[in-house]
């Protein structure tokens, strides 16, 4: 095969791979959003400008300090354990596994022992910014 043809073929294959990866990532995120709506949506809104439900709005949660949604009354247990801490993937993973072990006395009643579901939920929250 002529070198420039080979290059074109390779570039096309690469382009297709990139497109496939992007749409996979989008499907993945859409599935993660659905999971989050099902698991957290009763108590949390996710979109900017939405208010609080039983829990605070989670828009931008991974970019902010814990317990800082204005107008939301966090529990004493939550404030004692988490005040001043930054949410990141590791802390969120522990939180979703067992909120009580992170902040004894917190009023968030939820636990997720499936590591893949937690990873998908964290990917979704990371996308909210």
Contact set with ligand HEC (CB under 6 A): 39-40, 42-44, 54-56, 58, 61, 66-67, 69, 74-75, 77-78, 87, 92, 96, 106-110, 112, 121, 125
CB of 31 to ligand HEC, least distance (A): 14
Report the distance separating Cα 73 and Cα 84, nearest Å.
Answer: 16
Angle CA 46–52–55, to nearest 5: 85
Pick from 64, 67, 85: nearest CA to 76? 67
Nearer to ligand HEC, 15 or 28 (CB): 28
Report the distance separating Cα 75 and Cα 53, nearest Å.
Answer: 14
CB of 16 to ligand HEC, least distance (A): 34
Contact 48, 64 (CB under 8 A): no
Nearer to ligand HEC, 33 or 112 (CB): 112
CB of 48 to ligand HEC, least distance (A): 14
């Amino acid at each position: 095969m002529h070198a420039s043809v080979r290059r074109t073929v390779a570039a096309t294959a690469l382009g297709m791979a990139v497109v496939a990866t992007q749409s996979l990532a989008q499907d993945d995120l859409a599935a993660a959003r659905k999971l989050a709506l099902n698991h957290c949506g009763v108590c949390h809104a996710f979109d900017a400008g939405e208010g609080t439900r039983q829990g605070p709005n989670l828009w931008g949660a991974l970019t902010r300090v814990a317990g800082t949604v204005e107008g939301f009354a966090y529990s004493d247990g939550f404030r004692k354990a988490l005040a001043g801490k930054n949410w990141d993937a590791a802390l969120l993973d522990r939180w979703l596994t067992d909120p009580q072990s992170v902040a004894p006395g917190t009023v968030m009643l939820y636990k997720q022992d499936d590591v893949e579901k937690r990873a998908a939920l964290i990917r979704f929250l990371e996308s909210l910014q």
